[in-house]
Structure 1
Amino acid sequence: MISNKHDAAGLKTASEKYGVPTKVVPADGQKGWDYDKKLVATLEGAGVTATDGLVCLAGFMRIISPEFVRHYRMRILNIHPALLPSFPGLHAQKQAIDYGVKVSGCTVHFVDDGVDSGPVILQKMVPVVQDDTEETLSTRILEQEHQAYPEAVRLFAEGRLRVEGRQRARAMTCLSGL
């Protein structure tokens, strides 16, 4: 697990609870490809290359450079707390409440050069109730995120994702005994 922040809660959970190696790669004021080159070097040092491995973003609140996206084309997943393409960017839950939608949720998608605009892998729906706040809706969506992200990673690892055009990623059915 890589973080750009020393105090990221996920670092402790990853290392202590799951025994996952962790590394902090501070930005030190660097942006774009200047910073992302450090991430690529760290990822490749861990065996995550342009042709092998998967980059999973979670709480990484930085815009990834186009060079990084091209390097790991169709190997970067992100999760977003809305049913994309609705409400991309920050405060998606507040956007949903303010807009008055009756259903929100989360989306796991491949990362492209846009903000929350890559091909959708899967989505989970969550009803928006009358007295929801950004916090209450966020809590219910987070529960679905914890189910959706591992499912999307599993589909990727099993080679069961197929992107058709730019907008859709479908899970392929695997048949055995044929």
Structure 2
Amino acid sequence: MSCVSGKAYPSTGQEAASSHAGLHQPPACDPEDKSAGAQWIHEVKYDGYRIQLHINHDDRKAFTRSGHNRVNRFSVIAGAFNIPGHAIVDGELVVIHEERTNFSELQVDLGRGDQDRLVYFAFDLLWLDGKDLRKMTQLARCTAGAAQKGPLFRDKTVHC
């Protein structure tokens, strides 16, 4: 598991100027920092690729940690979201093989251009309908996503 602070993202001072373009880096997490107490949550470490999906109506982008847009490789996942407006979703792209995430199988599938077994575990909603949610705690952001009208996803390739 990796630690995730329940705190809000720190301001970079560039939010208004950037709208929601570009990759948003999560705040650094110090597992020794006990200042949040019971406000700390944990996320499961999956064996896959961290992907940040940027949704702007029908325009979709899938950014890797290094900031490369790989939507052509992950188009099935990018198209699985049922969000009609603007959103940024952070999560992990995996292949499940023998009931476990398997990075080697993920690399093989991506090398073949095969997207049939790709699964996206969405664990954070950073932006929704013109609102920068990073100022909210992660638990509040999850609540904002759950409060959306209708399902956020078109099929079962995405889990939250």
Q: Please say whether Structure 1 and Structure 2 have the same fold, judged by a TM-score greater than 0.5.
A: no
Q: TM-score, normalised by structure 2?
A: 0.26
Instruction: Looking at secondary structure, tell me which structure has more strand per residue.
Output: 2
Query: Could you tell me the TM-score, scaled by structure 1's length?
Result: 0.24
Relative contact order (alpha carbons < 8 A, sep ≥ 6): 1 or 2 greater?
2
Higher helix proportion (structure 1 or 2):
1
